[in-house]
Amino acid sequence: VVTDGVAVPMLTAAGFRVLSEESGLSGRGTGPLVVIDPLDGSTNFSRGVPWYATALCLVDGEGPAVALVANQASGERFSAVRGEGAHRDGTRLVPSTVERVEDAVVAISGMPKRVLPWKQFRAMGSAALSLCDVASGRLDAMLDALPDRHGPWDYLGGLLVCTEAGA
């Protein structure tokens, strides 16, 4: 809520409309929309697990255009610009080349109804960071078994990072 209270007024003052997980829709006009999750992985944060992020994605008439996912525990920053690739702290991201699910390390959100024959899985607690790890090749895939519990703020930043990395 503190991050939301700082970020949303700054973004609306700069002329953006803002859709925040914490405060809903703010701003006026028809210009670009910034979708923000001020603290993706809030349960991790509240329990001292160092895996949580602030995720932002600028959406224009063509879709996701610019993303920033900042791991607030480690300081790592993932960024992407539509048509220009994705980066982690300035280094271009390259996704995994794993093709078989049997060889894959997969991030999950919730337990799937049927466990797939993956090599291993991880339930990390931040959709945005998990997607960024797919984009960077640390993980091979992500499966969301709880789609009704996530909103666009959870995914849009990580989605653009994945798309621009070629994941």
- In this predicted structure, what is the pLDDT of residue 23? 95
Q: Could you say which residues of the chain have pLDDT below 50? A: none
Coil, strand or helix at 5: helix
Residue 10 CA to residue 18 CA, distance in Å, equals: 10
Q: How far is CA 53 from CA 6, 61, 63, 104, 155, in A?
A: 15, 26, 22, 24, 12
- Model pTM score: 0.94
- In this predicted structure, what is the pLDDT of residue 31? 78
Around Cβ 2, how many Cβ atoms within 10 Å? 9
Taking a C-beta distance cutoff of 8 angstroms, is the pair 76, 128 a contact? no
